[in-house]
Every structure is written in structure tokens, then in C-alpha cells.
Amino acid sequence: MAATALTARMFSNAAMQQVFSAENTIQRMLDFEAALAHALAAEDVIPATAPAAIKAACQASRIDQKALAAAARQSGNLAIPLVKQLTAEVAAIDATAARYVHWGATSQDVIDTGLVLQLRDAIALISVELGELADALAGLVHRHRDTPMIGRTWMQHALPITFGLKAAGWLDAVMRHQHRLHDLHQRIAVLQFGGAAGTLASLGNRGLPVADALAHALELQLPDLPWHAHRDRIAECATVFGLLTGTLGKIAGDLALQMQTEVAELAEPVAPGRGGSSTMPHKRNPVACAAVRAAAARVPALVSTMLATMDHEHERALGGWQAEWDTLPEIATLCGAALTQLRDVIEGLQVDAARMRANIDLTRGLVMAEAVSLALAEHIGRSHAHELVEAACQRALAQGAGLLDVLRADPQVTAQLSPQALEKLFEPLSYTGEAGALADRVLAAHRARKR
């Protein structure tokens, strides 16, 4: 067992691990072989009796994985020794059928199509959990539509926003990824079948009909051409996962910043043995956020590998193809793991609205200066209002006093604004502009999507 197995639970999830397990990788290649036999027989290329025996043998449990791995080092890919083992298995059932295993196909046909079948499953898994994340986020937006908090730019307090608006930004991005995944699902589900050099020559004039039947059997599209040396579809899959992981990292980053001891607006869900420290009882380490951020830190470089290795030489690459084999599954796995971890955090997120409210006041009202200035401007003009407020802010900073108190003591201000009016200006929700309306737009889009 490799060391990565120890961290696997942190950086993967069970369902995705299954999709890219050795067992399933083999099974998906065998699914191709079984469907190929079926298609060949349907087009009268091989005897009608062959597919049954081949299909019967196409079970991953029959394959000796250790022997496969050892032989792959010599052959340079998994398909050659897999076909050899499969042929022996078929021969044990039906010696004649064994002659037709892998007929007309090349190694890359079975490896690439097997990968496509795995990616289709991976996308389906991610889509489901992304929907769950969207639902959980929509819940947050709904519950905190009017929960004021401070907006932060450059990691400094700026102006008040609402937590609903912040969460709506997360949800809005997540829904764009749902759209991207949907498109990707359409584009990636494409058969690869070209034979040794992409011409299907060994099938004579039945190449295209067999390809058509094969695509149909696997519920894949038949592309205009075999695409073995053109990796844009495969690389695009990496980029879409990469974009999604980027957004997950952004959200986890926001959460982690809000979970800092000094900020304390959010906390990860509590669970036994989770994020604790025996010697430091006050600690609540955001371990899920760390895992998401770690995944988001790793995926971009892996995506660059997928882009950098698109230059497959001629009709089959010498290095670029082999570089994909572990890289794309790793991207999918990290993306899936980050999604699961983040969904769990959002579903159980602990929100401290009181602390959000209190943090707004950390600058003693300075974040409301713009609101006051605009209110005064209606009475004394924008320019004069701006001067008055700027001077008040400077006094507040110099005296360590609250801006409201400074303004209350300024007769030029009190001449225009009553004490009640002034106080109301320091209500954060009075200055969150379109935050509510914007959150509602996103919630409406979410509802529309689910219909």
C-alpha cells in the first residue's frame, strides 16, 4: 500500500475511489471488449456465437491485477496484457471465440474508451453532489438574506453586505459549474475506435458500421473521426474539473478566513474527534476547509500537465498519453473529494450572526462613513458633506472614538440630521443597497434550475 492510501480518506471520497479503482478501470476496459464483440457479430465480422463467451469472461474479478501491472511495464500499456489474460479466459469457455477477442481494435481504443466510461460516471457523481451543495447554499442564502456582515476588500473592512449576498455569490458560481458539467457530459461521452492507425483497416468495409454499433452498445456518441491523438476532449474535462475546484477553494478560503479566532463568524460542523487538540481545548481546526484548499492547490498544476501533454506525436504519443493515465483520475478524485468535504461543511455550517454584527463595529462606525456622507449630501451638497464626514473620520481615528459619537457632537451635522436619523444611518442593513434583491435573483435562478 502506498502512503497515499493513508491520506486517501482526506483527499478522495468512496464513490470516486470506486470509479477510479483498479477493479473498475479493468471492468470498463472489459465493457469495451464485450461491446466490441457484440458489435462485430452484429455486423457479421465475427461468428454470432463469439460474443456470449467473450461477454462471460469480461469480468474484472477474473483478471490477475498483479500480473497485469508487471506485464504493463514491459508492454508499455495495460491493454496488451489485459487482452492476453482475457483471451485466455475466453479460451477456457470457447476456444473459437477466443480468436475474436479485441478484433479490429488497438490498445488505445480500449484504454481511451474505458476512460471515457469512467469520466462519464465521475461527472455524474460530481453533478449529484454539486446539486446538494447548491441546495445547501440556497438554504444559507435564504436564511441569511438579511443578516448583516462586513464586506472585506484587500482583507480590510470595506462596507456592510449581507451574509446572504456572500453566500449567493458562492451559489451563483456553483450553478455556473452545474451548467459547465452538463455541457461536458454531452461532449465527453464519445467513442474512441480506430484500430492500429485510426483507419479501421482490418475491418475492411465494415469499419464504420461496427463503430456505429459499438457506440450504440456503450451509449456513446460516434464521433466523425477517431480522436486518439487529439486530446482536447480529455483535457477539457480536466479544465472543467479544475474550474470547479477553483471555486470550491475560493469558498473554503472565505470560510477559513471567517473561522479565524479573531473573526469567529463561522465554524465547521462539530463531530467527535474532529479538528480538536488535546492540549489546546479552545482549538477548532477547520480540517475540511484545509482539505478543500489542499485539493485546490494541487489541481491547477495537474490541469497544466493535461494541457502540456496534448502534443501527442503523430498517431499515438510517446510519453504524452502515458502522462495522462494517473493525472486525470487524480484531478477528478481531488475535485470530487473537495466537493464532498465542502458540501458537508456547508450543510452543517455554524453561523454566528451576532458576531457578524459585532465585527461590523470594529472600526467604530468608520465603515458607515459613506452612508452618512450620502445622507448629508441631500441637505448640504455632496462636496460639503464629504468634507464634513472626512473631518469627522479623522477626529474619530485620532481620538479613538466612535464615528457616531463624533458626528453627534458636530453642530454642522446635527443641524441637518436628528439624533434618530443619525443613529439609523449606523444600522448596517440601511446601507446594503441591492444585497437583498441580488440574493433573490440568485435564489430564483436556483429554483428555476431545479424545476
CB of 392 to a second copy, least distance (A): 9
CB of 253 to a second copy, least distance (A): 4
Burial status of residue 183 (CB atoms within 10 A of its CB: 0-12, 13-18, 19 or more): exposed
Q: Which three cell numbers stand for residue 135?
A: 441546495
3-class SS of residue 341 = helix
Q: Which amino acid is at 363?
A: T
**Touching a second copy, residues 375-404 (CB under 8 A):** 382-383, 390, 393-394, 397
Identify which of residues 68 and 90 has a Cβ nearer to a second copy in the complex: 68
**Touching a second copy, residues 331-350 (CB under 8 A):** none
**Touching a second copy, residues 94-133 (CB under 8 A):** 99
Other Cβ atoms closer than 10 A to 156 = 9
3-class SS of residue 351 = strand
Using CA atoms, how far apart are residues 250 and 293, in angstroms rounded to an integer? 8
In 82-169, the DSSP E strands lie at 148-153, 156-162
CB of 300 to a second copy, least distance (A): 4
> Is 195 a residue that touches a second copy (CB under 8 A)?
yes
CB of 130 to a second copy, least distance (A): 13
Identify which of residues 155 and 415 has a Cβ nearer to a second copy in the complex: 155
Other Cβ atoms closer than 10 A to 227 = 18
> Is 76 a residue that touches a second copy (CB under 8 A)?
yes
CB of 358 to a second copy, least distance (A): 11
CB of 351 to a second copy, least distance (A): 16
**Touching a second copy, residues 226-255 (CB under 8 A):** 226-227, 229-233, 235-236, 239-240, 242-243, 245-247, 249-250, 252-254
Options 59, 127, 178, 202; binder of a second copy; rule CB under 8 A: 202
Is 394 within 8 Å of 410 (Cβ atoms)?
Answer: no
> Is 224 a residue that touches a second copy (CB under 8 A)?
yes
- 316 as an active site residue: the answer is yes
The stretch among 50-58, 64-72, 404-412, 413-421 that binds a second copy (CB under 8 A) is: 64-72
> Is 279 a residue that touches a second copy (CB under 8 A)?
yes
Options 419, 427, 433, 450; binder of a second copy; rule CB under 8 A: 433
Residues in the chain: 451
Q: Give bridge partners of residue 152 from the DSSP assignment.
A: 157
Residue recorded with cell 433573490: 440
- Out of 233, 316, 343, 373, the active site residue is 316
CB of 428 to a second copy, least distance (A): 10
- The alpha carbon of 295 is separated from its chain's Cα centroid by a whole number of angstroms, namely 10
Using CA atoms, how far apart are residues 174 and 165, in angstroms rounded to an integer? 14
Burial status of residue 251 (CB atoms within 10 A of its CB: 0-12, 13-18, 19 or more): buried
> Is 154 a residue that touches a second copy (CB under 8 A)?
yes
Other Cβ atoms closer than 10 A to 231 = 23
Instruction: Report DSSP state, residue 437.
Output: H
CB of 128 to a second copy, least distance (A): 20
- Out of 176, 187, 277, 430, the active site residue is 277
CB of 280 to a second copy, least distance (A): 6
Q: Which three cell numbers stand for residue 46?
A: 465475427
Options 371, 376, 385, 425; binder of a second copy; rule CB under 8 A: 371
> Is 142 a residue that touches a second copy (CB under 8 A)?
no
The stretch among 30-38, 61-69, 119-127, 131-139 that binds a second copy (CB under 8 A) is: 61-69
Using CA atoms, how far apart are residues 24 and 59, in angstroms rounded to an integer? 10
**Touching a second copy, residues 1-20 (CB under 8 A):** 1-11, 17, 20
> Is 203 a residue that touches a second copy (CB under 8 A)?
yes
In 201-303, the DSSP E strands lie at 266-267
Q: Which amino acid is at 396?
A: A
**Touching a second copy, residues 291-320 (CB under 8 A):** 291-305, 307-320
| Interface characters, 159-188, with a second copy (x: CB under 8 A) | xxx---xx-xxx-xx--xx--x--x-----
> Is 359 a residue that touches a second copy (CB under 8 A)?
yes
> Is 199 a residue that touches a second copy (CB under 8 A)?
yes
> Is 411 a residue that touches a second copy (CB under 8 A)?
no
Using CA atoms, how far apart are residues 217 and 395, in angstroms rounded to an integer? 77
Using CA atoms, how far apart are residues 96 and 55, in angstroms rounded to an integer? 14
> Is 259 a residue that touches a second copy (CB under 8 A)?
yes
Using CA atoms, how far apart are residues 280 and 277, in angstroms rounded to an integer? 5
Identify which of residues 225 and 415 has a Cβ nearer to a second copy in the complex: 225
Q: Identify the CA nearest to 116 among candidates 221, 209, 23.
A: 221
**Would you name the residues annotated as active-site residues?**
277, 316
